[in-house]
Amino acid sequence: MKIVLLGHGNMGQEIEKLINESGKHQIVAINLEHLGDQIDEKEVRKADVVIDFTSPQIVVENIKKVAALGVNMVVGTTGWYKNIDEVEKIVTESGTGLIYAQNFSVGANIFFQVVAHAAKLMTRFGNYDVYGFEVHHTGKKDSPSGTALRIAKEIMGNFPSKSVVQTEKLDRKINPEELHFASIRGGRNPGFHQVTFDSAADSITLSHAAHNRRGFAEGALLAAEFILGKKGLFTIDDVFKSEGGEK
């Protein structure tokens, strides 16, 4: 499979390293390595799939340009989901395929399902409250992380007393329906997410810690193989379903 990388930050470099190690795929080109660079349309046309790990400020424009060239995409950039309807329209009208995720790590996607199941159990047994927090390196471009928002979605979908995610600093008493999910930025942490269910009797804590970015890169390439030749908008959940996983 011929791949064009958009962005050459931490994730772009990790994907490049993994591709070079495996020899299974080929990098046709790396675009948007530096601020102000432009997508090279000639190079993109050579690709089977484009993988984007750039910035939420430019990702929708990248999607427009790549879709217009008729090439499928994997989008690992987060922080653009308010534009999801626009992106779905772009993909549909261009007849291309696009897959996105808040987190491409296989372990993180298993963690989503573990948290969802735990939330169901907590509502059935015991008087539990729930909260979470996440930690990322100083170079993280969005807050809260897309992974944190996905975790919050899984909790609220299975924990009826929580209907609003609150990610800001609170200078007041939290409302019962609010799920507080805090963010910390500092150091070099590639990603840590924790959820705690707390009651008068006990506490249960679940967490996922990325040791490095390799798991994210592996998931992005798995997604690239999945989206090859497909049309429409997909998420990483569709990959898990195709692999026999259960959402």
Q: What is the pLDDT of residues 155-205, one digit of tens each?
A: 999 999 999 999 999 999 999 999 999 999 999 999 999 999 999 999 999
User: Are residues 119 and 159 in contact, defined by beta-carbon separation less than 8 angstroms?
Assistant: yes
Instruction: Give the pLDDT confidence score for residue 102 in this predicted structure.
Output: 84
Active site residue 241: no
pTM attached to this predicted model: 0.79
179, burial (CB in 10 Å: exposed 0-12, middle 13-18, buried 19+): buried
H or E element that contains 215: helix 214-227
User: Which of 25, 65, 140, 180 is an active site residue?
Assistant: 140
Provide the strand spans (E) within the chain: 2-6, 26-31, 49-52, 72-75, 97-100, 129-136, 164-166, 178-185, 192-198, 203-209, 232-235
Separation of alpha carbons 1 and 228, rounded Å: 9
Backbone φ and ψ of 80, nearest 5°: -120, 10
Question: Mind listing the domains of the chain with CATH numbers?
Answer: 2-104+213-242 (3.40.50.720), 106-209 (3.30.360.10)
User: Which of 8, 136, 180, 193 is an active site residue?
Assistant: 136
* Interval 78-119: pLDDT, tens: 889 999 999 999 999 999 999 999 889 989 999 999 999 999
Active site residue 136: yes
